[in-house]
Chains A and B, each alone.
Chain A
Amino acid sequence: AQSVTQPDIHITVSEGASLELRCNYSYGATPYLFWYVQSPGQGLQLLLKYFSGDTLVQGIKGFEAEFKRSQSSFNLRKPSVHWSDAAEYFCAVGGYNQGGKLIFGQGTELSVKP
Chain B
Amino acid sequence: EAGVTQFPSHSVIEKGQTVTLRCDPISGHDNLYWYRRVMGKEIKFLLHFVKESKQDESGMPNNRFLAERTGGTYSTLKVQPAELEDSGVYFCASSRNIRDPDGYTFGSGTRLTVV
Chain A residues proximal to chain B, CB less than 8 Å: 4, 32, 34, 36, 41-46, 49, 51, 90, 92, 94-96, 99-107
Q: Which chain B residue has the least Cβ–Cβ distance from A106? A: B42
A43-B3, A104-B42, A106-B42 known; A96+B102 contact, CB < 8 A: no
Residues in A with CB closer than 8 Å to B4 are 43
For window 16-41 of B, CB contacts with A under 8 Å fall at 31, 33, 35, 40-41
Residues in B with CB closer than 8 Å to A49 are 101-102
A105 CA to B56 CA in the complex, in Å?
Answer: 21
Residues in A with CB closer than 8 Å to B95 are 100
A95 CA to B100 CA in the complex, in Å?
Answer: 9
The contact size tier of chain B is 20 to 34
A103 CA to B45 CA in the complex, in Å?
Answer: 7
CB distance from B90 to the nearest CB of A (A): 12
Q: Are A99 and B98 in contact (CB under 8 A)?
A: yes
Q: Are A107 and B102 in contact (CB under 8 A)?
A: no
B109 on interface, CB distance cutoff 8 Å? yes
A44 CA to B43 CA in the complex, in Å?
Answer: 11
Most chain B CB within 10 A, of A41, A43, A51, is at A43
